[in-house]
């Protein structure tokens, strides 16, 4: 399939810029962000795995296993952040004055990352829980709320895939995102209340935490939060751009197909997939 | 509940490494894999759009 | 707008009265779920009365998914949805009307299932003064969220599997609150059921408002 120099919408030379596909960051800014992100990740790995000392002051002490919290806590923060961003972007799309497809792309990209981070929170929580609690799972308030959040996200992503025009899909997704977002504080509150009902030291009120007794632990945690946020931001921006470009590509392909059909009708002797009978009656 | 903890210093690396290792490997793998996927598709998309990787688009 | 909502609710209930799908299919479904729980949990261990509230509400939640699907299947027959819009009924009224009809149907279902729970799970009927408000509030919350997602997914392919995935996580607080409220009430601590009832009421209010706000604009778009 050839894309001719005449852009489908009349813009000569380049292909039409699909709505919302303008770069959020310039090329150099993206590269800088990627470099900083990778550096932060490397730093957090070193600090979390090596520099921070083993936990010997906890009750009971957790030893080396607590290092999982350097991932678990930042991931939880990012999961909630991502959901919040999806909600904000959805609001911006719904308000007619600020409406723009880029908000829909942001909402979708952020939600995908939210699913990933939420899954990581749950798995890291389990991996922490087995050696420390003796069980793969406990109905800790945050963990349980995160589990609900995971399914809320999955539903949202499933809804996004289903068709209609970009605008219809964006409106529908935006409303769904807000409906789900309102639920998060309600879930958090009710689950927290639920777990406080059980005061018997059972699996219900185990807390997923470690006592921070060393400045290096603190530093590792902070670096972890920064690194995770940077990872989220850079992946989100990249994914946003991909969504915009893909949407543009679909539009373009559709336009190109229409153009071909129209061209074939005007001039049947030109190449065309299905030669049309000539209207004037002359035989080809 | 703390039956797994062997010594007063907490769980040592010998016991902890499968858990910590899996956790870190999964995080890096999942996020890294996602990143690679996005970048690869971006490159493919940019190639098929003339002028796509310039400042405006 | 309320008048229009009543019109829509009345229409849905009349359709149901004629087709009797709720009576013939959804109610038996709920009853079968309760039956299967008994098989799953082994009657003899005396466990059933303890877990009865939870089982009851799971059965209701699953049945409500069917009720929501049915509510919107009705619309896609004979292009009913477009006709509704042509008549000029406000989106919010459609939401309220359909949700109200679902509430009525679900409450009827719950009454029957509750009796079944008393009889077959060997639960003594106590604390009804808290049970009824809890059930009403919970049902309003379920109906509101179900209707919201029902309208969102209406006309989309794959909606039969999408709607449960959307509705069930959202209603987690309802499940939590309703079960706890029933537990307290049936266990004789009615006073401790009331905080949970409040939670259920708050949830229902929030989602009814959300539905009303969402459906003005949404129906224009689809």
C134-182: per-residue pLDDT in tens? Answer: 999 999 999 999 999 988 887 777 888 899 999 999 999 999 999 999 9
Q: Which residue of C has its CA nearest to A180?
A: C170
Q: Does A91 touch chain C (CB under 8 A)?
A: no
Question: For chain C, percent helix, then strand, then coil, each to nearest 5?
Answer: 90, 0, 10
DSSP assigned state of A66? G
- Assigned token pair, A214: 């060393």
Q: Which residue of A has its CA nearest to B41?
A: A242
pLDDT at C134: 95
Q: Does A213 touch chain B (CB under 8 A)?
A: no
- Interface chains of chain A (3 or more CB pairs under 8 Å): B, C
Q: How far is CA C14 from CA C6, C11, C86, in A?
A: 12, 5, 21
**Is the peptide bond prior to B39 cis by the omega test (within 30 degrees of 0)?**
no
Q: Which residues of C touch A94 (CB under 8 A)?
A: 217
CB neighbour class for C220 (10 Å; exposed up to 12, middle 13-18, buried from 19): exposed
State what percent of residues in chain A have pLDDT above 90.
40
Per-residue tens of pLDDT for chain C, all 222 residues? 778 888 888 888 888 888 887 778 889 999 999 889 888 887 666 777 888 999 999 999 999 999 998 888 877 666 666 666 656 667 788 899 999 999 999 999 999 999 988 888 888 888 888 899 999 999 999 999 999 998 888 777 788 889 999 999 999 999 999 999 999 998 888 888 999 999 999 999 999 999 998 887 555 554
Sequence-ordered list of residues with C-beta below 8 angstroms from that of A83, at least 6 positions apart, any chain: A110, A111, A114, A149, A153, A181, A184
- Assigned token pair, A278: 């000539």
pLDDT at A214: 77
Calpha distance A210→C67 (Å, rounded): 47
Question: For chain A, which residues score pLDDT lower than 50?
Answer: 1-17, 19-20, 272, 281-284
pLDDT at B13: 78
Name B10's bridge partners.
B7
Name A63's bridge partners.
A55
**C123: nearest Cα among C181, C177, C191, C53:** C53
Helix (H, G, I), strand (E, B), or coil: what is residue B10?
Answer: strand
Angle between helices C2-19 and C91-120 (to 10 degrees): 50
Calpha distance C162→C150 (Å, rounded): 10
Q: Give the Cβ contact number of residue C41 at 10 Å.
A: 15
E-assigned strand segments in chain A:
none
CA atoms within 13 A on the CB side of A195: 20
Question: Using an 8 Å Cβ cutoff, are A21 and B53 in contact?
Answer: no
The helix (run of H) or strand (run of E) holding residue B24 is helix B13-47
User: What's the alpha-carbon Rg for chain B, to the nearest Å?
Assistant: 22
| Main-chain phi, psi angles of A55, to 5 degrees | -85, 110
Sequence-ordered list of residues with C-beta below 8 angstroms from that of C93, at least 6 positions apart, any chain: C1, C2, C4, C5, C7, C8
Question: Using an 8 Å Cβ cutoff, are A69 and A142 in contact?
Answer: no
Calpha distance A69→A81 (Å, rounded): 18
pLDDT at C53: 93
Calpha distance A63→C133 (Å, rounded): 50
Query: Does B50 sit within 8 Å of A3, measured CB to CB?
Result: yes
Q: Give the Cβ contact number of residue B29 at 10 Å.
A: 11
Question: Using an 8 Å Cβ cutoff, are B10 and A63 in contact?
Answer: yes
Question: Using an 8 Å Cβ cutoff, are C118 and C125 in contact?
Answer: yes
A18-33: per-residue pLDDT in tens? Answer: 544 567 788 888 889 8
Question: How many residues make up chain B in this entry?
Answer: 57
Question: For chain A, percent helix, then strand, then coil, each to nearest 5?
Answer: 70, 0, 30
Q: How far is CA A192 from CA A144, A186, A187, C158, in A?
A: 9, 10, 8, 34
**Is the peptide bond prior to A60 cis by the omega test (within 30 degrees of 0)?**
yes
- Assigned token pair, C30: 């709920």
> What sign for the dihedral angle of Cα C1, C6, C9, C14?
negative
Calpha distance A187→A190 (Å, rounded): 5
Calpha distance A222→A70 (Å, rounded): 9
Angle between helices C128-153 and C159-170 (to 10 degrees): 140
Helix (H, G, I), strand (E, B), or coil: what is residue A199?
Answer: coil
- Assigned token pair, C129: 């003064």
- Assigned token pair, B28: 């890096």
Q: Does A155 touch chain C (CB under 8 A)?
A: yes
Question: Using an 8 Å Cβ cutoff, are C165 and A154 in contact?
Answer: yes
Calpha distance C61→C55 (Å, rounded): 10
Chain A segment 234-263 residues within 8 A of B by beta carbon are 234-235, 238-239, 241-242, 245-246, 248-249, 252
Sequence-ordered list of residues with C-beta below 8 angstroms from that of C36, at least 6 positions apart, any chain: none
Calpha distance B29→B16 (Å, rounded): 20
Q: Which residue of C has its CA nearest to A189?
A: C173
Q: Does A168 touch chain C (CB under 8 A)?
A: yes
Q: Which residues of A touch B12 (CB under 8 A)?
A: 63-64
Question: For chain B, which residues score pLDDT lower than 70?
Answer: 1-9, 50-57
pLDDT at A242: 92
Residue from the list B16, B31, B57 with its beta carbon closest to the beta carbon of A21:
B57
Calpha distance C21→C105 (Å, rounded): 11
Q: Which residue of B has its CA nearest to A230?
A: B31
Q: Which residues of C touch A172 (CB under 8 A)?
A: 152, 218, 221-222
pLDDT at C131: 92
pLDDT at A46: 87
Calpha distance C100→C147 (Å, rounded): 9
Q: Which residue of C has its CA nearest to A154?
A: C165
CA atoms within 13 A on the CB side of A73: 20
**C117: nearest Cα among C181, C52, C63:** C52
């Amino acid at each position: 399939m050839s894309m001719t120099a005449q852009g489908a919408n009349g813009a000569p030379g380049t292909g039409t810029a699909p709505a919302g596909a303008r770069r959020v960051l310039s090329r150099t800014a993206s590269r800088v962000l990627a470099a900083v992100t990778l550096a932060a990740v490397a730093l957090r790995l070193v600090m979390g795995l090596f520099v921070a000392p083993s936990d010997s002051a906890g009750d009971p002490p957790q030893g080396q296993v607590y290092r999982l919290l350097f991932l678990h806590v930042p991931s939880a923060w990012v999961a909630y952040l991502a959901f919040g961003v999806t909600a904000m972007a959805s609001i911006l799309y719904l308000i007619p004055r600020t409406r723009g497809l880029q908000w829909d792309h942001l909402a979708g990209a952020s939600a995908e990352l939210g699913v990933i981070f939420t899954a990581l929170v749950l798995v890291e929580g389990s991996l922490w829980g087995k050696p420390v609690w003796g069980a793969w799972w406990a109905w800790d308030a945050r963990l349980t709320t995160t589990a609900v959040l995971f399914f809320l996200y999955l539903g949202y992503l499933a809804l996004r895939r289903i068709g209609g025009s970009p605008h219809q899909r964006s409106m529908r997704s935006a409303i769904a995102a807000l409906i789900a977002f309102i639920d998060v504080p309600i879930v958090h509150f009710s689950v927290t209340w639920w777990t406080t009902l059980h005061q018997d030291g059972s699996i219900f009120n185990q807390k997923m935490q470690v006592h921070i007794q060393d400045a290096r632990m603190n530093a590792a945690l902070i670096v972890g939060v920064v690194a995770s946020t940077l990872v989220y931001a850079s992946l989100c921006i990249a994914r946003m751009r991909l969504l915009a470009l893909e949407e543009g590509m679909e539009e373009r392909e559709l336009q190109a197909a229409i153009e071909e059909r129209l061209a074939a009708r005007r001039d049947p002797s030109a190449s065309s997939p299905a030669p049309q009978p000539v209207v004037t009656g002359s035989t080809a | 509940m703390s039956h797994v903890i062997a010594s007063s210093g907490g769980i040592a690396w010998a016991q902890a490494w499968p858990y910590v290792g899996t956790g870190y490997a999964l995080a890096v793998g999942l996020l890294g894999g996602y990143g690679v996927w996005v970048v690869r598709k971006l490159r493919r998309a940019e190639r098929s759009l003339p002028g796509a990787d310039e400042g405006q688009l | 707008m309320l008048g229009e909502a009543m019109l829509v609710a009345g229409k849905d209930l009349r359709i149901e009265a004629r087709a009797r799908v709720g009576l013939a299919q959804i109610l038996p479904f709920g009853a079968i779920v309760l039956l299967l729980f008994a098989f799953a949990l082994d009657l003899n261990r005396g466990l059933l009365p303890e877990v009865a509230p939870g089982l009851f509400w799971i059965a209701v939640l699953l049945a409500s998914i069917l009720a929501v699907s049915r509510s919107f299947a009705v619309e896609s027959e004979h292009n009913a949805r477009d006709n509704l819009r042509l008549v000029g009924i406000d989106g919010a009224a459609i939401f309220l009307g359909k949700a109200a009809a679902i509430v009525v149907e679900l409450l009827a279902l719950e009454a029957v299932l509750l009796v079944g729970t008393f009889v077959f799970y060997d639960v003594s009927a106590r604390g009804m003064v808290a049970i009824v408000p809890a059930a009403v509030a919970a049902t309003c919350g379920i109906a509101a969220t179900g209707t919201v997602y029902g309208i969102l997914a209406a006309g989309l392919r794959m909606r039969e599997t999408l709607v449960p995935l959307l509705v069930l996580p959202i209603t987690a607080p309802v499940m939590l609150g309703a079960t706890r409220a029933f537990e307290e009430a049936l266990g004789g601590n009615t006073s401790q059921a009331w905080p949970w009832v409040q939670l259920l009421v708050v949830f229902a209010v929030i989602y009814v408002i959300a539905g009303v706000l969402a459906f003005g604009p949404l129906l224009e778009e689809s």
